[in-house]
Copies of this chain bind each other. A is one copy, B any other.
Amino acid sequence: MNSFGNNLRITTFGESHGSAIGGIIDGFPSGFKIDFDLLKEEIAKRRPGSGELVTQRKETDEPEFLSGISSEGVTLGTPIGFIIRNNDNRGNDYNDLRDKYRPNHADFTYQYKYGIRDWKGGGRASARETANWVVAGALALQWLASQNINIQACLTAVGSVSITDKIIENLIHVPSPLFALQTPEKASKHFEDEILKAKQKGDSLGGVVTCLITGVRPGVGEPVFHKLHARLAAAMMSINAAKAFSYGIGDKATLFSGLESLDIFDASISDKDNVQTRTNFSGGIQGGISNGMPIFFNVTFKPTPTVLQEVETIDRELNFTLLKMKGRHDPCVAVRAVPVVKAMAALTVADMIL
């Protein structure tokens, strides 16, 4: 089913080269004044065609809101329907894919599951779908900000160049509350070089996005099956190309003993609604429930399998064939995944708070 969330629920539709994509945001609090400028900024971060590092498809990605918002821009409590027209359709770029399966794509699995597939640009499997999530997520981010909850994300690894562990170590040792999670300029330059190198070869690279959520009060999350981190994991693993999720000390948990990784409560700076720990190996979640400390996690993205070189593959009759992929694609999907990670984190946290 194409729905995410329980109390704040987004349901989406749309193929990459259909006439429009869109969605319905259900359960959004009523009486909230939307900042449409802020919304545009968030959308711009994910929008294609905005630089050398990302796909050259040109889309304004401007959502048309059809319901749920008054003429004054205030939410009504009723479902918010929106659509985003697909303008820069070039379905013909993909004619070759009608009968050939691209390796590591969803071509074969969709065809097998449904007996039919929209082969133009990946159809529903395209990351174009994430434009819907960013629209919904941007509204959730605004509402969360009104509750003093802030979500930041940045790229911390591209290919073999990584500052992820360093960032996580920093977060575990509880930086100042004003800490801004962003890729340092030097690393940023390094990442850019790597991506351009891959692009020139017609190749692609994976990457890691790190996300930090601050301001969540204790008590958010369900104890057994709907742990806060289980919901975040499911949200992140819904993003195209995501391969791994790790929160708090995460996949480095084996490098510390129990004693070494205890987050000792700090009585000297704790009060009733704000219990602090000296370290944050737990990543802000204990027993599946937020403890009031910052929440942070990593998502690892694989290199996009759209590489601009001729590769061996099969056609629908399962015969050997060669395929030269064309189309306009991202040499490192992790770049544009940054706002998507934020959006999905926002939708998850808002859903669990509401």
Residues of chain A whose beta carbon lies under 8 Å from any beta carbon of chain B: 1-4, 6, 9, 11-15, 18-24, 26-27, 30-31, 64, 66-68, 70, 74-81, 83, 101, 103-106, 108-110, 112-118, 123-125, 129, 157-160, 162, 198, 201, 203-208, 218-219, 221-227, 229-231, 233-238, 243-251, 253-259, 261-265, 267-268, 270-272, 275, 277, 281-282, 286-291, 300-307, 309, 311-314, 318-320
Contacts of A229 in B (CB 8 A): 237
The residue of chain B having its C-beta at the shortest distance from the C-beta of A29 within the complex is: B114
Contact sample, A vs B, 23 pairs, CB 8 Å cutoff: A1-B225, A2-B79, A2-B223, A11-B26, A12-B79, A20-B67, A24-B24, A31-B114, A104-B263, A105-B287, A109-B286, A109-B289, A109-B291, A112-B275, A124-B223, A125-B287, A157-B254, A206-B256, A234-B237, A243-B246, A243-B250, A258-B303, A259-B311
- Tell me whether A300 and B254 are in contact in the complex, defined as CB-CB below 8 angstroms, given that A1-B27, A320-B267 are known contacts: yes
Contact A66 B80 (CB under 8 A): no
Contacts of A21 in B (CB 8 A): 66-67, 81
Q: In the bound complex, what is the Cα–Cα distance between A247 and B246 (angstroms)? A: 12
Contact A203 B259 (CB under 8 A): yes
- Tell me whether A253 and B301 are in contact in the complex, defined as CB-CB below 8 angstroms, given that A70-B118, A262-B103 are known contacts: yes
Which one of B67, B109, B233 lies within 8 Å of A219 (CB-CB)?
Answer: B109
Contact A258 B30 (CB under 8 A): no
Which one of B103, B105, B300 lies within 8 Å of A253 (CB-CB)?
Answer: B300
Q: In the bound complex, what is the Cα–Cα distance between A86 and B236 (angstroms)? A: 37
- Tell me whether A109 and B244 are in contact in the complex, defined as CB-CB below 8 angstroms, given that A1-B226, A68-B13, A302-B261 are known contacts: no
| Across the A-B interface, the 4 shortest Cβ-Cβ residue pairs | A106-B287, A13-B81, A204-B258, A77-B114
Contact A251 B300 (CB under 8 A): yes
A153 to chain B, nearest CB (A): 17
Other than the given A13-B81, A106-B287, 8 more pairs (CB < 8 A) read A11-B26, A12-B79, A12-B224, A77-B113, A125-B223, A207-B254, A230-B233, A259-B307
Q: In the bound complex, what is the Cα–Cα distance between A110 and B267 (angstroms)? A: 19
Contact A223 B110 (CB under 8 A): yes
Q: In the bound complex, what is the Cα–Cα distance between A80 and B255 (angstroms)? A: 39
Q: In the bound complex, what is the Cα–Cα distance between A300 and B252 (angstroms)? A: 8
Which one of B15, B129, B246 lies within 8 Å of A300 (CB-CB)?
Answer: B246
Contacts of A256 in B (CB 8 A): 206, 303
Contacts of A231 in B (CB 8 A): 234
Which one of B4, B68, B124, B255 lies within 8 Å of A160 (CB-CB)?
Answer: B255
Contact A2 B20 (CB under 8 A): no
- Tell me whether A109 and B287 are in contact in the complex, defined as CB-CB below 8 angstroms, given that A1-B222, A302-B249 are known contacts: yes
Contact B219 A129 (CB under 8 A): no
The residue of chain B having its C-beta at the shortest distance from the C-beta of A132 within the complex is: B224
Which one of B30, B129, B157, B160 lies within 8 Å of A224 (CB-CB)?
Answer: B129
Contact A118 B76 (CB under 8 A): yes
Contacts of A129 in B (CB 8 A): 224
Contact B233 A76 (CB under 8 A): no
Q: In the bound complex, what is the Cα–Cα distance between A117 and B237 (angstroms)? A: 32
Contacts of A234 in B (CB 8 A): 230-231, 233-234, 237
A86 to chain B, nearest CB (A): 9
Q: In the bound complex, what is the Cα–Cα distance between A349 and B101 (angstroms)? A: 25
Contacts of A257 in B (CB 8 A): 159, 198, 203-205, 303
